[in-house]
Amino acid sequence: MRNLSQAHIIAINQLLLKTTATYIGGWRYESDCADRLKMYAEDVKHNITALVAFNQDHNVLKLHDSIMLQDTLVRETYFNVLQYIEAHNLIPRRYFSVM
């Protein structure tokens, strides 16, 4: 596990925000289902809340866990964030999404 640098913090923010924008963009074809839109909005709220907490405490393991605990679709959508964290050894290996 390596120390979290300012470059890592910026990269994680950029990845998570860009992925969130892409995730939101996918909803345009599902406007006929209010329940599904509410579910997607809750997913975004969860991830943005986790990012806000990360920016306050820089606890990258907590951010990683927050993504890992979501439904499969969301976890797979945000897999690029998980991969970045793991590729840079920012958390202990035992927490990796892929061993």
Question: Using one digit for the tens of pLDDT, what is the confidence trace for 61-95?
Answer: 999 999 999 988 899 999 999 999 999 999 999 99
- Residues 15/81, Cβ–Cβ less than 8 Å: yes
Give me the percent of the chain exceeding a pLDDT of 70: 92
Is the pTM higher than 0.95?
no
Would you state the pLDDT for residue 3?
80
Would you state the pLDDT for residue 40?
86
